[in-house]
Amino acid sequence: GENVEQHPSTLSVQEGDSAVIKCTYSDSASNYFPWYKQELGKGPQLIIDIRSNVGEKKDQRIAVTLNKTAKHFSLHITETQPEDSAVYFCAASSMNTGFQKLVFGTGTRLLVSP
């Protein structure tokens, strides 16, 4: 089955710096890659997603890149702010098995210091 690895497990940056979180997946059939942000005491919330027919997607300060050949995808956050501090999860799924059946990475705890 699918396996998703995520690095780093923790990431500390200064406000205004950029943050990059990387994930790799194993199943070449995976074609949907969302990123979720989880704040303390809350459920995960989708921040951006990308499908396998696209190499890059941007939404304001957040961008995601996908390299299908290498089975890598990454989250880029620019001009980080203290409110970006949270745990971020990458995930993968396949339209064949249903996009609701997400395989999550182990999470990255991002701390943005003022």
Query: Which residues form the interface with another protein (CB under 8 A)?
Result: 1, 32, 34, 36, 41-46, 49, 51, 89, 91, 93, 95, 97-107
Nearer to another protein, 1 or 114 (CB): 1
Q: Whole-number minimum distance, CB 45 to another protein, in Å?
A: 7
Sign of CA dihedral 53, 104, 107, 82: positive
Nearer to another protein, 3 or 81 (CB): 3
Q: What is the CA radius of gyration of the chain?
A: 14
Nearer to another protein, 37 or 80 (CB): 37
Q: Whole-number minimum distance, CB 107 to another protein, in Å?
A: 6
